[in-house]
């Protein structure tokens, strides 16, 4: 008999469905996912291009989890994170090729930031990307540089800040990022086991340290912040960092996190290789 699991996050109760989605067998491991305004769920797969056979970079699922398509067999060297763009399309962080692709929902590239296979031009193993209300975006850069880079909507660099370190405002691995409605920038500083809050221009506002290796951060329309870490827990914070709720919806921790269009919460797990869906239920 299948047991139906429940978790509480703040004032909301969720059921847990795992695994979720009709994912075909591929050489890739699930590393992240995103949900477009149309409700399509785009699952990012990472593989070792040096030894693994070719396979799709992205699998697209309908909102009910049914298979739609797969694509991007030759797109990425080391797919790491994916984000839905505000006006349609997807941004994909190709970490060890030091670049970010902006493409349509079927993988046709519109723009690239960062020179392929040239570390430091400007990225050095970037890890994540998040879009701001003004159409600009921020990149966590990442494993090598320990910096945040801010771009305008056309892809021109506006500012950057941060360095490798443990002091407030520095990063060991800026691994996940999101932007609040008022422009505040929230960064999961994974190996420092903390989340840091900045102004849009990079001024440090707060450091929140009640986490173990936080992997990703996202925010909802009310600027409530969701953080998945390696305990593993999923935490819900106010925009000012107050803890509103905490639960354990996965076995070993999620590498990526995104919010669905109907109140669902999706978690990308690498071990075991699957998606977990949290869906609202009546108390």
Residue 238 confidence class, pLDDT cut points 50, 70, 90: very high
pLDDT at 162: 98
Distances (CA, A) of 106 to 75, 89, 102, 110, 132: 11, 9, 11, 11, 24
Give, as one character, the DSSP assignment of residue 214: -
3 state SS of 106: coil
With a cut of 80, say whether residue 3 has pLDDT above it: no
Rounded Cα gap, residues 259 and 37, in angstroms: 11
Name beta bridge partners: 100.
93, 113
pLDDT at 50: 87
pLDDT at 1: 56
pLDDT above 90 covers what percent of the chain?
95
Rounded Cα gap, residues 247 and 40, in angstroms: 26
With a cut of 80, say whether residue 205 has pLDDT above it: yes
Rounded Cα gap, residues 21 and 44, in angstroms: 13
Among 7, 5, 16, 12, residue whose Cα is nearest residue 244: 12
With a cut of 60, say whether residue 126 has pLDDT above it: yes
Mean pLDDT of 153-171: 97
Q: Which domains does the chain have, with CATH numbers?
A: 6-281 (2.120.10.30)
pLDDT at 283: 76
What the block records as the tokens of 84 is: 């839905």
Give, as one character, the DSSP assignment of residue 13: E
Q: Return mean pLDDT, the chain.
A: 96
Among 207, 203, 202, 101, residue whose Cα is nearest residue 155: 101
The 10s digit of each residue's pLDDT in 79-109 is 999 999 998 999 999 999 999 999 999 899 9
Mean pLDDT of 233-244: 98
Kindly report the CA angle at 30 between 138 and 102, in degrees rounded to 5?
35
């Amino acid at each position: 008999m299948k047991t139906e699991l429940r978790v509480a996050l703040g004032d909301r109760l969720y059921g847990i469905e795992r695994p979720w989605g009709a994912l075909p067998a591929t050489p890739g491991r699930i590393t992240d996912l995103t949900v477009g305004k149309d409700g399509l769920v785009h699952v990012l797969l990472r593989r070792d291009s040096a030894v693994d056979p070719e396979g799709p970079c992205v699998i697209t699922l309908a909102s009910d989890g049914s298979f739609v398509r797969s694509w991007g067999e030759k797109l990425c060297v080391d797919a790491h994170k994916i984000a839905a763009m505000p006006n349609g399309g997807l941004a994909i962080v190709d970490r060890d090729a030091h670049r970010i692709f902006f493409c349509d929902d079927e993988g046709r590239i519109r723009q690239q930031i960062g020179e392929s296979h040239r570390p430091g031009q400007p990225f050095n193993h970037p890890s994540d990307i998040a879009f701001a209300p003004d159409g600009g975006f921020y990149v966590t850069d990442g494993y090598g540089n320990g910096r945040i880079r801010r771009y305008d909507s056309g892809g021109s660099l506006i500012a950057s800040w941060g360095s490798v370190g443990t002091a407030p405002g520095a990063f060991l691995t800026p691994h996940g990022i999101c932007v609040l409605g008022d422009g505040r920038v929230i960064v999961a500083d994974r190996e420092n086991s903390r989340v840091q809050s900045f102004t849009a221009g990079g001024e440090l506002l707060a450091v929140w340290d009640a986490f173990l290796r936080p992997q990703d951060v996202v925010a909802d329309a009310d600027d409530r912040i969701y953080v998945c870490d390696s305990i593993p827990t999923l935490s819900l914070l106010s925009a000012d960092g107050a803890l509103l709720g905490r639960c354990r919806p996965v076995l070993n921790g999620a590498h990526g996190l995104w919010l669905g269009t109907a109140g669902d919460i999706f978690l990308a797990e690498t071990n075991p290789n699957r998606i977990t869906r949290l869906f609202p239920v009546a108390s």
